[in-house]
Structure formats: C-alpha cells, structure tokens
Amino acid sequence: MCSRISAGFTLVEVMVALTIMSIVVTIAFSGLHTGLDAWERGSRAIEQLDERSTVERLLKRQLSQAIAMEFTSEDVTSTMFRGSSHRLEFIADYSLADGPSDSRKIDLAFSDGEFLYGEKLLFGYVPSEIEPVPEQRLANFNSVRFQFLKRDEEGNRMWLDDWKVDMGLPIAVQVHIDEDVLVIPLVNREP
C-alpha cells in the first residue's frame, strides 16, 4: 500500500494565517498613521514656536530702540510714538528687511488673528491721524495686546491701553501674545 503524504496546507490553516497577517498589517499601519499624525502636530508646534520667537526678537530689537523723533505739523511738535491695545506705531533704526539702517516708521497691528507688520522710510514721510493698517503678515496668534508704562504726576507707575502722540515715549511697552507677557523697556527715553 502506498501512503500519501500531504505536502501542503489545509484551507483552514491558510485562512487562519491570512487573518493573523491582516491583523498585524492593520496594527502596523495604524501605528504608522499615529506616528505621522504626531510628527505633523510636532512640526506645526515647532513652526508656531519659531514664529513666536521671531516676533519676540523683532519686538525686543525694534521697540527697545524706539527713537523720540519729533515731527512738526501745523505749528505742533510731537514725538512719533502712538499705540492702542491692538496697534503700535513708532520710529526705529532697525528694519526687518535691512537690519540696522536708517530710521523708519514701524507699524505693528493685530487683526483677525494675524500679527501684521509695516515699515516706511522717513524720507518724505508725513504722519497723519489715520494710517493704513500694515499688510505684511508675520505670524498668527490667538490674541495680541499692547500696554504702555507711564508715571503719573505723583511718580506712580501705571499701565495704559492707549498712548497718544503728544505723550513722548513710554517707560516700557508690555506685549501680551496669547498667554505670554513680554515687557520691553525703551532705552532711548529721556528720564
């Protein structure tokens, strides 16, 4: 009698092996998807931190060096430094494009989640009450707010939400970016 030896797998064995293989592949691709998602979130967080760091360095460099340059119009002399809780205009000798350079009028604004930047050369510049909002986007934030440090008549320090052109230069500017607070003292200020 001849005995037959089977040299293959049964259908049940093949089905069990394919089921196990599909479970392993599903778990592997799920892990890959989770890893790629974490990578993307990490990359976005790094980009946001880089934007914030760039904005903070620019603010520290430009704002600390604000110049008390005076403009005369209609027999009124005033220092070009004004601001509100969401906008700030001043003169500085540091340009985002050129680095240390000639004095320029710097304009910072926060509108609709965007931190905006503008600069103008002072040659031929005449200040006006209403300046157009800058258009160059530097970063996106949830909120940005400016405050200005002043001494009152008794020598007490107080933070103001608005700074008018005729008030000179503030002692410091406080910038709230989302939950962070950055205080920048002005070094060219007269005591």
Express each pLDDT in 102-138 by its tens digit: 888 899 999 999 999 998 887 777 777 778 888 899 9
108 within some domain: yes
Q: In whole angstroms, what is the distance from residue 41 CA to residue 45 CA?
A: 6
For residue 66, the one-letter residue type is A
Q: In whole angstroms, what is the distance from residue 7 CA to residue 51 CA?
A: 65
Q: In whole angstroms, what is the distance from residue 58 CA to residue 95 CA?
A: 9
Q: In whole angstroms, what is the distance from residue 107 CA to residue 151 CA?
A: 25
Q: What is the pTM of this model?
A: 0.74
**By residue range, what is the domain housing residue 64?**
56-185
8 within some domain: no
Q: Which of these ranges, 29-38, 50-59, 71-80, has the smallest mean pLDDT?
A: 71-80
21 within some domain: no
43 within some domain: no
41 within some domain: no
Distances (CA, A) of 151 to 55, 77, 126, 155, 158: 28, 22, 29, 5, 6
Question: What's the structural domain count of the chain?
Answer: 1
Model pLDDT, residue 4: 63
- pLDDT digits 0-9 by tens, 23-47: 999 998 888 888 888 889 888 888 8
